[in-house]
Amino acid sequence: MDRSVAEIAAHISAEVVGDPTRTVSGLGSLGTAKGDELSHLSSASYRKLLPETRAGVVILSAQDVADCPCTALVVENPYLAFAQASQLFRKEVPIQPGVHPTATVDPSCTLADEVAIGPNVVIGPDTRVGRGAQIQANTTVGARCNLGDDTVLHPNVTLYSDVRLGARSQVHSGSVVGAPGFGFTPGADGHLVEIAQIGGVAIGADVSIGACTTIDCGAIDDTVIEDGVKIDNQVQIGHNSRIGAHTMLCGCVGIVGSSVIGKHCIFAGGSGVGGDKPVTVCDGVIVTARTVISQSVDKPGVYSGTIVFHEHSKWRRNALRFEALDDLFKRLRRLERRAK
């Protein structure tokens, strides 16, 4: 879909330096963009590419305008502006409202206006589907679920019973929400006895759940995902956990049951939460890749560590000293020999 520079600038509140009538037909990176594409410079690491870029339009900050060889859109936060501009070029396949003839919808369900139910969808009893919601092919929705307005369930999603999904939230393909939590206890004979998981899952508005992610239902109370949370692919969230508003969980993050994660946190790929007792993480915490948070964190900041986590600055100093351990050990041995 073609967009004019003036239209894009208005959408992202940018100042235009150059030709506002130029037409943009797509997006590209600084190094590969073509003359009809929009790019952005949001990291100093890519600044060297700017003078030679072939992009037609670049979103950047004021300090980089002088080096831009094409039309510039000047903003304070180029990365945020590019994210906003990218929405103008989203390519979505329109889905017509209605219920596909192969879908199975329980008679007790409530379907609001403009709902689109795809092929082979199954919806259980007493479920409500909000206005403009889309449930795409081969998806199963259990009993007593509540899907808010404009929610989207992509193909092959499974919602167990008692899942609530807030307005404009979406769940991507292969994800399972509301499966029983991992609750077992040994009996007198040593055999494991299952603990019934009777809670649900409460998901807020504007939440995105990536492909093949799993969110367990609560054992008694609900598992809670607050508004604006963004969850990547292949993430596991255990029963009775709470994820605070606008937190990001990147790929392969694992959250053990009963964990409480604050608002505006970031968990990088492969990181996780789990300890001897329930862990609480305060607002504004960033956990770097592969780090495991094994005890509660009450101070905002960046945390790292594949063995024992520390505040990021301490971890970096210790990591640098790891390389000197062998030399330090040899020096100590020499001193010990001299002392004998």
Task: Share the mean pLDDT of the chain.
Answer: 95
Of residues 188 and 315, more confidently modeled: 188
Cβ count within 10 A of residue 333: 10
pLDDT at 121 over 70: yes
Q: Fill in the amino acid letter for 84.
A: Q
- pLDDT tens figures, 273-317: 998 889 999 999 999 999 999 999 999 999 998 766 778 888 788
Catalytic residues: 239
Domains of the chain plus CATH, in order, are 3-89 (3.40.1390.10)
Confidence band of 123 (pLDDT split at 50, 70, 90) = very high
Of residues 124 and 96, more confidently modeled: 124
Cβ count within 10 A of residue 125: 14
Question: What average pLDDT does this structure show over 56-69?
Answer: 97
Instruction: Spell out the alpha helix ranges (H) of the chain.
Output: 5-12, 78-86, 312-322, 325-339
How is residue 100 written in tokens? 């596909």
Q: Please check whether residue 141 is in contact with residue 161, taking contact to mean a CB–CB distance below 8 angstroms.
A: no
What percent of the chain stands above pLDDT 70? 99
Q: Please check whether residue 302 is in contact with residue 290, taking contact to mean a CB–CB distance below 8 angstroms.
A: no
- Of 226, 234, 230, 262, which is closest to residue 248 (Cα–Cα)? 230
- pLDDT tens figures, 125-161: 999 999 999 999 999 999 999 999 999 999 999 999 9
For the entire predicted model, the pTM comes to: 0.86
Question: What average pLDDT does this structure show over 197-223?
Answer: 97
pLDDT at 271 over 80: yes
Q: Give how far Cα 10 sits from Cα of 6, 37, 58, 77, Å.
A: 6, 17, 15, 15
Q: Which of 126-135, 169-178, 205-214, 312-321 shows the lowest per-residue confidence on average (mean pLDDT)?
A: 312-321
The span from the CA of 280 to the CA of 61, in Å, is 38
Instruction: Count Cβ atoms within 10 A of the Cβ of residue 329 and give its class: 0-12 exposed, 13-18 middle, 19 or more buried.
Output: exposed
